[in-house]
């Protein structure tokens, strides 16, 4: 078996027992990437020499000692490019480490590679990357999901042991579902956003994509915690999420929201979720039907709030301070116009225009303010649900991986890919996606994801439920044929 097929905890054991050195591990990883990545395009770049240098001082007694971790191209690593999958940041080198990177380093990990994504994390398929899409390892004619599609693809293809992604409306959970890995979106504020290039600041969270729940718990524990550099980070103690993993689900109440079983839900996905529900009952959990009545408004509300925040956040890319600058402008205004015209892709421009429109005077009350009110209702839906149940279970994505190109001409159909994940970001709660079966299309097996949503700061419970399910099934052990 290839050395890169291991999980983080398995690989850590190999390193600690000196069966392999951190340098050999990195070389094996680079070999795997050279062999596999031309078909996947999960990485935008990686710097083996620098990683080997980092490995010289690796302290193998630390929780992630000597383990390389893939980093989505939206998270700053000092001295490395940070391009957000966009042409406008071409040539930009991050001057500092994001807090999550500092925390990973302190735990002994080696940040490795720049990982492909939809431009500025806007999208559900990586097809908005200025550098071309990533491919789904289970069927390379299909998308790995997005926007953290590169992160999910490299983990599923054993081109990484684990990776970091960011989730604004589903961008960790949806690609995790489509690639058959585990993805965690922590509670808003649980993980510092310092050094994460902002898309929608009130929704963005960094989280891990991993091969199993044990790794997800380990990484989530390590990257969480209050940070003086991010005023929205929560000043709350971080439990050791690994410590409570094995407590099981006996006696727990799980809610199945009736609004998530809608038209457009793929029958194979629905079936897998229903089977998972029975499985949870067999493990001793009680499953109740619940209602999240404002679910139908989540999509439209998200597509007002997220673009509004994006239009403000992306104003900084003016061709003066970072990266790309258009040539031969007539004057300053023309410089801004040309740089942004040439530097941003279509979807990013669409969001900036939408966002500017909903924030403009005269429309602010009708759109932005109203969306904020509906956001509160969505939040309240979850708050009342969590009075009845310990966690919510539902599909992560309405369909398995779709074909590359199938939705690129129709933004609305692309937006629907996140219909089941957006609400958690609007409510600020935590969630995870874990593998729960396969659909079959055109003779290919395509992973299906089960989403587990927990109340604010309840990652420990979400991971405990995820672990109980995972350990009593075999789905996470399946590997694509590459």
The set of catalytic residues is: 72, 147, 171
C-beta of 422: minimal distance to ligand GLN in Å? 7
Nearer to ligand GLN, 419 or 436 (CB): 419
Distance of CA 443 to the CA centre of its chain: 28
Bridge partners, 205 (sequence order): 167
C-beta of 443: minimal distance to ligand GLN in Å? 28
C-beta of 174: minimal distance to ligand GLN in Å? 7
C-beta of 170: minimal distance to ligand GLN in Å? 5
Helix H or strand E segment including 251:
none
Nearer to ligand GLN, 85 or 123 (CB): 123
Nearest-CA neighbor of 154 among 80, 66, 48, 68? Answer: 68
**Strands (E) located in 396-443:** 430-441
**Residue nearest ligand GLN, Cβ-based:** 171
If you compute the radius of gyration of the chain from its CA atoms, what whole number of angstroms results? 21
Nearer to ligand GLN, 151 or 339 (CB): 151
- 3-class secondary-structure state, position 358: helix
In the structure encoding, which two tokens stand for residue 243, read together?
């410590």
Give the Cα separation of 469 and 282 in Å (integer). Answer: 10
Instruction: Compute the C-alpha angle 284/273/394, nearest 5°.
Output: 90
Distance of CA 200 to the CA centre of its chain: 14
Question: What is the per-residue DSSP string for 167-205?
Answer: ESSSTTHHHHHHHT-EEEEPPTTTB--TTBPPSSTTT-E
Cβ count within 10 A of residue 386: 20
C-beta of 357: minimal distance to ligand GLN in Å? 17
C-beta of 122: minimal distance to ligand GLN in Å? 5
Judged by the rule CB under 6 A, the positions of this chain that interact with ligand GLN are: 121-124, 147, 167-171, 199, 306, 418
Residue 328 and residue 97 in contact, taking contact as beta carbons nearer than 8 Å: no
Nearer to ligand GLN, 199 or 367 (CB): 199
Give the Cα separation of 264 and 418 in Å (integer). Answer: 13
Residues sharing a CB contact under 8 Å with residue 480, sequence separation 6 or more, in sequence order: 137, 138, 156, 157, 180
In the structure encoding, which two tokens stand for residue 227, read together?
């940070």
Residues sharing a CB contact under 8 Å with residue 83, sequence separation 6 or more, in sequence order: 44, 73, 89, 90, 92, 114, 130, 323
In the structure encoding, which two tokens stand for residue 84, read together?
């957000």
Nearer to ligand GLN, 418 or 459 (CB): 418
**Hunting for tokens 């600020």 — which residue is that?**
428
C-beta of 151: minimal distance to ligand GLN in Å? 12
In the structure encoding, which two tokens stand for residue 440, read together?
């079959």
Instruction: Compute the C-alpha angle 270/247/60, nearest 5°.
Output: 100
Give the Cα separation of 100 and 63 in Å (integer). Answer: 15
Give the Cα separation of 177 and 446 in Å (integer). Answer: 10
C-beta of 306: minimal distance to ligand GLN in Å? 5
């Amino acid at each position: 078996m290839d050395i890169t097929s291991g999980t983080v905890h398995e690989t850590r054991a190999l390193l600690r027992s000196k069966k392999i050195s951190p340098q050999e591990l990195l070389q094996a990883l680079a070999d795997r990437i050279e062999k596999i990545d031309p078909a996947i395009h999960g990485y935008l770049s990686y710097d083996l020499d620098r990683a080997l240098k980092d490995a010289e001082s690796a302290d193998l007694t630390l929780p992630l000692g000597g383990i390389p971790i893939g980093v989505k191209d939206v998270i700053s690593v000092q001295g490395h490019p940070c391009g957000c999958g966009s042409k406008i940041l071409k040539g930009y080198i991050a001057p500092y480490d994001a807090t999550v990177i500092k925390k990973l380093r302190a735990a002994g990990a080696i940040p490795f590679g720049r990982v492909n994504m939809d431009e500025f994390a806007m999208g559900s398929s990586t097809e908005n990357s200025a550098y071309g899409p990533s491919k789904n390892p289970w069927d390379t004619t299909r998308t790995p999901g997005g926007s953290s599609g590169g992160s999910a693809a490299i983990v599923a293809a054993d081109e990484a042991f684990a990776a970091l992604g960011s989730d604004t409306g589903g961008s960790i959970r949806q690609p995790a579902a489509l690639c058959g890995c585990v993805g965690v979106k922590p509670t808003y504020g649980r993980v510092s956003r310092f050094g994460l290039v902002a898309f929608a600041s009130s929704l963005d969270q960094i989280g891990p994509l991993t091969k199993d729940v044990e790794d997800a718990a380990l990484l989530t524990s390590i990257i969480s915690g209050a940070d003086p550099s991010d005023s929205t980070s929560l000043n709350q103690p971080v439990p050791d999420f690994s410590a409570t993993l094995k407590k099981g689900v006996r006696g727990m109440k799980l809610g199945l929201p009736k609004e998530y079983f809608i038209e457009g839900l793929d029958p194979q996905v629905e079936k897998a979720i229903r089977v998972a529900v029975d499985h949870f009952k067999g493990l001793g959990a009680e499953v109740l039907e619940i209602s999240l009545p404002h679910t139908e408004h989540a999509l439209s509300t998200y597509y007002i709030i997220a673009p509004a925040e994006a239009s403000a956040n992306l104003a900084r890319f003016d061709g003066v301070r970072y990266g790309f600058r258009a040539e031969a402008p007539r004057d300053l205004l023309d410089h801004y116009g040309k740089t942004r015209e040439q530097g941003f892709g279509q979807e990013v421009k669409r969001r900036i225009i939408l966002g500017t429109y909903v924030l403009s005077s005269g429309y602010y009350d009708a759109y932005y303010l109203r969306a904020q009110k509906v956001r509160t209702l969505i939040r309240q839906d979850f708050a009342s649900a969590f009075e009845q149940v310990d966690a919510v279970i539902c599909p992560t994505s309405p369909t398995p991986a779709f074909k590359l190109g199938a939705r690129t001409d129709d933004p609305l159909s692309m937006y629907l890919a996140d219909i089941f994940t957006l609400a958690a970001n609007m409510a600020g709660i935590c969630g995870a996606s874990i593998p729960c079966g396969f659909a079959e299309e055109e003779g290919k097996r395509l992973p299906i994801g089960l989403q587990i949503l927990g109340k604010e700061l309840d990652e420990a419970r979400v991971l405990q439920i995820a672990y109980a399910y995972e350990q009593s099934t075999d789905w996470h052990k399946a590997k694509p044929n590459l």
